[in-house]
Amino acid sequence: MASNSGPYDINEDVWYYEEKKGLILVHQIRNKNGDYICTAQIDLPWRKIEASLLRQKARRRAAKKS
């Protein structure tokens, strides 16, 4: 998958980018007063996302059989 222009907003403090290797989730960390502290970034490889989706699908199928 090619890089898309993004960012894709989740809310004002969280957004993500779609990249060739996966999603990059960016989160602004704030204190109790809402003051900015720092920004954290998490890289989620497509293979991990795909594995998670397959597990969810298997759980749904198992629940329907019960």
pLDDT attached to residue 1:
47
pLDDT attached to residue 64:
87
Report helix, strand or coil for 51. Answer: helix
The answer to whether the CB of 8 falls within 8 A of the CB of 18 is yes
Looking at per-residue pLDDT, the higher value among 21 and 4 belongs to 21
CA dist., res. 10 & res. 3, Å (int): 18
pTM of this prediction exceeds 0.95: no
pLDDT attached to residue 3:
62
List Cβ<8 Å contacts ≥24 apart for 23-30.
23/49
Q: What is the pLDDT of residues 7-49, one digit of tens each?
A: 999 999 999 999 999 999 999 999 999 999 999 999 999 999 9
pLDDT attached to residue 6:
85
